[in-house]
Structure 1
């Protein structure tokens, strides 16, 4: 049964919808902090993944479902018979195209919601989600985890202090990583726009959001963008690979930067939680099941023989209402894996950071100060832990403001991403304020 908010000692109860990498990551907080929250229900179609999640959290078998619709139905019956939901909150960690339907369905039953990014891959759906969340009056968390790491919190504190004067410009880069991009955006679920969305949305909505966060209270006014798919195409395939379409059959495999054998069968990826090999199989990855997946599944394909079409490089230029500007670059071809590099320029100083530490230089004193916030465990520099902890506390206190954002704020940072892609495709500069007005009028969404 859901948490009684009058009892400060009862853990917040959560249902996990989708028990893949993101669902497991957020849910692990319940194991680390059992007095704060508890997983009491799950929905997951893959049998081994479902079984492992059930066992890890000791979920009652009557609250284990293959399909979220069955969980939703059981919840409706419980609400009707005893007047209570099955849990206090749900984690929406299903595939991107399902975020809208799952979020709206559980919002209508009154659940507080943490939705993995992106909010949706469809702008109209984002507006519908905003409407549903506002109507339900629930706590809504967005999976923009970069906001919640110790590094970002410390850096944001310096920005907000105003000690360096007016914030004038930010230069920000996301180095996706050469094999990470090949895994997710060439061979994986986010490779084709028709199946998911453009890569600026599926990979870098984080980054446009953090720029909006740092430049608050300014809002995005105009954007332009350029980008394309430069490398992961058949015409770039090494001649030595011949007609091979799978890495395990390729004579060039040993010398290929994007060899699936190198990426997935390296000992580092075969640990129980070893990403990215863990994505390939239902359960714990090992040599046998990963090799089998590479022989027949999508992740064993030649990176130059896939049907991918999303950009592997893109730049976005942003103007804010304060007059400040920002430039963002997303690039696949780097050794760094999502280790963002940032330079923030003020009237009287600058900040240079790399997601682990940052250096603040004051032009007036000519002094530089190095900051290395103590990292937390998990991915995104502790942002995953920071987000789920903050969400649980917001639900416990019934205080949306603890998250530092709300559903409309999240929608607006997504709007900037949609506008940037519109600018890239049309070769124009997009007025984002006007774009929002037009989209709200088109989709009947209130301001």
Structure 2
């Protein structure tokens, strides 16, 4: 407690020096439109870094002033990069929460205006609820939660607190998607009748994240359609809005990344560094992680498998003892490596979505949108608009603002900061109702896959809410 009080006094002195840069009091409706938006980052890994970069490129709009990160090297590097005061650097989100509670109690102010939540998926609901109770605005990485009950609890918490809420559905916010959305809303091609979208995850990306990595096991995270593609389903739902999903069906399986597919020539080898056919394997951990480092490439995905900056020594150690060095056919993964989803909307229009691991393209979605008077064909970089009535065909080059997902990362964090600064949820173009509905659509798709039936989306949501009410009294 003495340490917390000491921190509180230091924070008060800091707030004076910064001229109340974090000036929002415990009332979430307190106006802040002329203030620098201050951020606390919970989880300083890949996604935490992706959103925080905006504070470096646009320091006049926002500033990272507090962090929580358990890995010491990652925590130190992040602290130095963002020049975070040592009194605002915490090992755990619980420590950050406790310090925040102390400052609210002592000086009547939160540590920051908003919290970026970029911890592992199964923690999203718990961490969001905790900081929401203290009145923080929240930007939560996708998915919002890994169970229906947790999603519904998050909905209630956010509505009760009346905070600004952003969801890591970054695809809505890229210049590419926004330009297509503008065309859809304009009606120049008539009514949008059908969407066909393919998510080519990428062979080594899937092996990294969904076979060896954090999203490989449903019980420890969630099913792959949720962890990888919830923002695809969200984008499709947004394009058809105000129509909503009415019926959904899905098929998929873990087809390849299983022990039965292991090449016989690999013998009893369980790790790539000891495998006799490693050089011939498409999923060689040496090729994916070690070879790039030997050529000076230390970005994704190798940066995610060690604490701190990757080098030959720590990457080799990780491949010898950690999950990223395991043979993909000996890993404990259980999520689908291929899945299709079909949706019928309330207005009779349709969409199909495919997630597939086995591609050379890495997450460059392939999209076809069919209208009553035209079509759009795109690949996340450019798209072609064919207008049947005019007989014209025009290629669009929306460009990118930098950052991941074709500029979607930058677009989301900028929109969130603007929404927090002006207390205007509409600047995000979505709200908790939209976020929850698209998540429930993903849950309904997975229910269809597992149960082998077409699912009524409206009845599915009603049943989910009824079960949640009964469970929570």
Structure-2-length-normalised TM-score: 0.92
Match of 1:148 in 2: 173
Question: Partner residue of 1:280?
Answer: 305
Instruction: Tell me how far 1:266 sits from its aligned partner.
Output: 2.8
Residue equivalent to 2:223: 198
Helix, strand or coil for the counterpart of 2:60?
A: coil
State the partner residue of 2:66: 41
> How many residue pairs get matched?
446
Q: Distance in 1 between matches of 2:49 and 2:141?
A: 12
In the TM superposition, what is the alpha-carbon distance from 1:272 to its structure 2 partner?
Answer: 7.3
Give 4+ residue runs of structure 1 displaced > 6 Å after superposition: none
CA deviations on 1:83-140 (whole Å, 9 max, x unpaired) are 1100000000000000001000000000000000000011100000000000001000
Deviation at 1:7, TM superposition (A): 6.4
Q: Distance in 2 between matches of 1:203 and 1:286?
A: 28
2:274 is aligned with 1:249: yes
Matched, 1:118 2:143: yes
Partner of residue 291 from structure 1, selected from 308, 312, 316: 316
Rounded Cα–Cα distance in structure 1 between residues aligned with 2:298 and 2:154: 32
Aligned 8 A contact 2:294 2:312 in 1: no
- Give 1:208-223 correspondences, 5 Å limit: 208-223=233-248
Partners of 1:149 and 1:380 within 8 A in 2: yes
Partner Cα distance (1:114, 1:14) in 2: 10
Question: What is the CA deviation profile of residues 222-245 of structure 1, one whole-angstrom value per residue up to 9, with x for unaligned ones?
Answer: 000000011001111111111100
What is the 5 A alignment of 1:427-442?
427-442=452-467
CA distance in 2, matches of 1:412, 1:6: 30
Question: Which residue is equivalent to 2:292?
Answer: 267
1:46-65 correspondence runs (5 A): 46-65=71-90
Contact 1:225 1:314 in 2 (8 A): yes
Which residue number corresponds to residue 66 of structure 1?
91
Contact 2:35 2:421 in 1 (8 A): no
Residue 320 of structure 1 is matched in structure 2 by 345
Shift of 1:192: 0.8
1:44-443, aligned counterparts within 5 Å?
44-267=69-292, 274-443=299-468
Q: Is the 8 A contact 1:190 1:197 kept in 2?
A: yes
CA deviations on 1:38-92 (whole Å, 9 max, x unpaired) are 0000000000000001101111111100010111011001001111100000000
Give yes or no for contact 1:10–1:35 (8 Å, CA) kept in 2: no
How far off is 1:254 after superposition? 0.3
Give the Cα separation in 2 of the matches to 1:403 and 1:10.
Answer: 19
1:297-355 Cα shifts (integer Å, max 9, x gaps): 10000011111110000000001011110000000000000000000001110000110
Unaligned runs of 5+ in 2: 1-14, 16-21, 25-29
Consecutive unaligned residues of structure 1, counting only runs of 5 or more, are: none
Deviations 1:149-207 (A, max 9, x none): 00011111011100111111000000000000000100011111111111000001011
d(CA) in 2 for partners of 1:295 and 1:42?
31
Question: 1:270, 1:278 within 8 Å by CA — same for their partners in 2?
Answer: no
Q: How far apart, CA to CA, are the structure 2 residues paired with 1:269 and 1:219?
A: 50
* Aligned equivalents of 1:347, 1:374: Cα separation in 2: 27
What is the SS of the residue equivalent to 2:257? coil
Partner of 1:15: 40
RMSD: 1.4
* Alpha-carbon shift at residue 442 of structure 1 (Å): 1.1
3-state SS of 1:265 partner: helix
* Structure 2 CA distance for aligned equivalents of residues 367 and 272 of structure 1: 44
- Quote how far apart the aligned CAs of 1:375 are: 1.1
Separation in 2, partners of 1:424, 1:214: 24
Contact 2:201–2:355 (Cα < 8 Å) also in 1 = yes
